[in-house]
Structure 1
Amino acid sequence: MSTEVEQQAEHAHTTAWIASVLRARIAAGQLTPGSKLSEQSLSASLGVSRNTLRQAFTTLAGESIVTRIPNRGVFVAAPGVEEVREIYRVRRTIEPAAVLWGRPSTEELDAMEDIIRRARAARDAGSVPDMANANQAFHEAVVALTGSGSLRELMDRVLAEMRLVFHAMASAPDFHTYYVDRNAQLVKRLRAGENELAAAELREYLDAAEAELLAHLEGDAR
């Protein structure tokens, strides 16, 4: 009996690991919206059975990160207007609270400033993917201020879906540039202990980003 329980636990752990690997690849921009996820190649490269891989797909489908199409397969999702609204509902709940109640150490703030330097270098080089990467890393760091592993896991899922949304903004390469300096302002507020102002400005920041994304997506839909 104990062996069966152990096997079930190991299987569940493997499924969660596969989901996290695929989620990370999507968040890093390695898998783009519409990409088909091949069971054969992924099961071989990850060293797992197709059944275990399918269970990981089920997890990701529940997170709206992949889409199952009958008789065609599993594809990386392309989030639409409603998905963007849901993403920002989550982000507005978590991120302002993280900066309002978090008490970041000097080391954490230094790490956030390192991310901003990377973002500015990417902006100066005109590299949209690198700006997107830095933006993702910055918001991961914001949520890390909560000290909650569960919230970080939730944010990982949200940021993976955000990466898919970013692909819809390929025709608007300036989208990320505006937020680089706003991230820097946020760190400045936190260094000064102005957490309430930081939280208020972050809420405005998220509202502006959502509005821009929705306007773009709704314009494409017309």
Structure 2
Amino acid sequence: MAPSEAAVRVSSAASASAAARLRVTVPSVADRVADELRLQLAEGILLPGARLTESTIAEDLGVSRNTVREAFAELASERLVVRHPNRGVFVASLGAGDIHDVYTVRRVLEVSAIRRGGNPEAVAAVRAAVEEGKLAAAANDDEALGSANQHFHGAIVALAGSRRLNTIMSQVLAEMRLFFHKATVDAHFYSGYLKDNEEICAALEAGELDRSAELLESYLDRSEEKQAEVHGD
């Protein structure tokens, strides 16, 4: 017996809904390439002003040049890369005018997340980033120290348990590292924040969420002032 027209419509709607869910939940290859490049920016692997070559990235990541081009467009919309006609795509060099905006976003994301606290696993991740920083400092590894500091702030936002906030923070972390490259001519730039990270984490672990948030706000104020000085704002 042939299915009724209504049943066919219901079946088609269900199939369309399933396909839509798949598109939403499974990132495109270009999105994953953009995620990888954001991570490389945040980790200090890609430096401000560096030229990004489609063919090289495509070969390294095992994707098509078209896919890399799509990822570049996504990162350009976030001002993490810039395309110069007849020259190519380059990692952005952010200036003084971007600093206040980035720190405004950081206050909203990080301070609100730490005021909410987090589950034991999320708090443990904040502690792990602090300890990672201590080990890097003991080894006089400035690059590792910078990455540990990035992990610390990413772990703070992860306290909220929101995938969307983590995605936003991944862009912010990439922008932060672009700023910090100029500041790290001072060899003690990151090590100066180790004590702050420890105090913020200790208050969080003790359940003193308001104190932890206040310490973090003070930290961000001083960090913004430092960046403004370095970039001549």
TM-score by length of 2: 0.85
Contact 2:137-2:191 at 8 Å conserved across structures = yes
Out of 46, 67, 71, which is 2:61 matched to?
Answer: 46
Deviation of 1:163 after TM superposition, in Å, equals: 1.2
Structure 1 position 89 matched with structure 2 position 104: yes
Instruction: Give the distance between the partners of 2:110 and 2:188, measured in 1 at CA.
Output: 23
Offset from partner CA, 1:179-201 (integer Å, 9 cap, x none):
11111111111122211111111
Partner of 1:173, secondary structure, is coil
Task: Give the gaps of 5 or more residues in structure 1.
Answer: none
Instruction: Give the distance between the partners of 1:20 and 1:123, measured in 2 at CA.
Output: 28
Counterpart for residue 217 of structure 1: 231
Counterpart for residue 79 of structure 1: 94
Going from structure 1 to structure 2, the CA distance change for 1:181 and 1:19 (only over 3 Å counts) comes to same
Instruction: Give the distance between the partners of 2:200 and 2:141, measured in 1 at CA.
Output: 23
Counterpart for residue 221 of structure 2: 207
Partner of 2:188, secondary structure, is helix
Partner of 2:183, secondary structure, is coil
Deviation of 1:13 after TM superposition, in Å, equals: 0.6
Counterpart for residue 115 of structure 1: 129
Out of 150, 154, 158, which is 2:168 matched to?
Answer: 154
TM-score by length of 1: 0.89
Deviation of 1:165 after TM superposition, in Å, equals: 1.3
Equivalent residues in 2 for 1:141-220 (5 A)? 141-218=155-232
Instruction: Give the distance between the partners of 1:147 and 1:110, measured in 2 at CA.
Output: 14
Partner of 2:232, secondary structure, is helix
Instruction: Give the distance between the partners of 1:46 and 1:188, measured in 2 at CA.
Output: 39
Contact 2:183-2:189 at 8 Å conserved across structures = yes
Q: Quick check: which has more Rg, 1 or 2?
A: 2
Number of corresponding residues: 216
Deviation of 1:126 after TM superposition, in Å, equals: 2.2
Letter in 1 for 2:42: A
Instruction: Give the distance between the partners of 1:93 and 1:111, measured in 2 at CA.
Output: 20
Counterpart for residue 42 of structure 2: 27
Letter in 1 for 2:222: A
Offset from partner CA, 1:103-138 (integer Å, 9 cap, x none):
341x43333223212211222332211110110111
Letter in 1 for 2:83: R
Contact 2:122-2:158 at 8 Å conserved across structures = no
Deviation of 1:12 after TM superposition, in Å, equals: 6.5
Instruction: Give the distance between the partners of 2:210 and 2:48, measured in 1 at CA.
Output: 37
Letter in 2 for 1:15: A
Instruction: Give the distance between the partners of 2:27 and 2:151, measured in 1 at CA.
Output: 28
Going from structure 1 to structure 2, the CA distance change for 1:186 and 1:154 (only over 3 Å counts) comes to same
Instruction: Give the distance between the partners of 1:205 and 1:110, measured in 2 at CA.
Output: 21
Task: Give the gaps of 5 or more residues in structure 2.
Answer: 1-14
Instruction: Give the distance between the partners of 1:17 and 1:147, measured in 2 at CA.
Output: 21
Going from structure 1 to structure 2, the CA distance change for 1:14 and 1:195 (only over 3 Å counts) comes to same
